[in-house]
Amino acid sequence: MARDMDEFWVFGYGSLMWNPGFAFEERLTARAFGFRRSLCVWSHVHRGTPDHPGLVLGLDRGGSCRGVAFRVSEENREDVLDYLRRRELVTNVYLEKILPVSLGDGRQVKAVGYIVDRNHVQYAGALEIEQAAEIVRVSSGQSGPNDTYVFNTLAHLKDMGIRDHWLEEVGATVATFSQAAV
């Protein structure tokens, strides 16, 4: 599938945007259609525990998502694809797909992206803002508190000029809940 693409593009919507971990030739803002960024994946290790799971980002059906597209050289294609599969497919909650992506300069390309598997046990579904915020506020895992993950993501999105109104509302609600709990 990804090996058949003329140019190898990768679409990132979460930490891949600011921490790709691979060499690339070109990096542009991009929009993937038919999917949206969402806190829809239960985290039992990095941002939560089996008893108190946290939430991390997934690319879920519906709407569109602004992110970043990376063009990878042909000579690095296989290594980058192997790296991405080790990084993104650890628990198989994500599915590797070829997504239609509109680049910031107007070009239309196909990019490898990782979307959430709605049939996987880690799929949390579409949560209301208050539900997601309360889970994020109280969860913590090996990589630290869940709210740090959300606030860090929001800071990076802001630095890149990307707005995500739903995630911003979750972050604001987490902050409100945290102040009320003090």
Residues labelled as active-site residues: 88
Looking at the DSSP bridge assignments, the partners of residue 7 are: none
Mention every residue, 6+ apart, whose C-beta is less than 8 A from residue 138: 52, 146
CB atoms within 10 A of CB 117: 16
Three-class SS state of 152: helix
Cα separation of 138 and 128, whole Å?
Answer: 16
The region that residue 169 occupies, defined by phi over 0 for left and psi between -120 and 50 for alpha, beta otherwise, is alpha
DSSP 94: E
CA torsion sign for 8, 12, 17, 19 is negative
Cα–Cα distance measured from residue 177 to residue 162, given in angstroms and rounded to the nearest whole number: 25
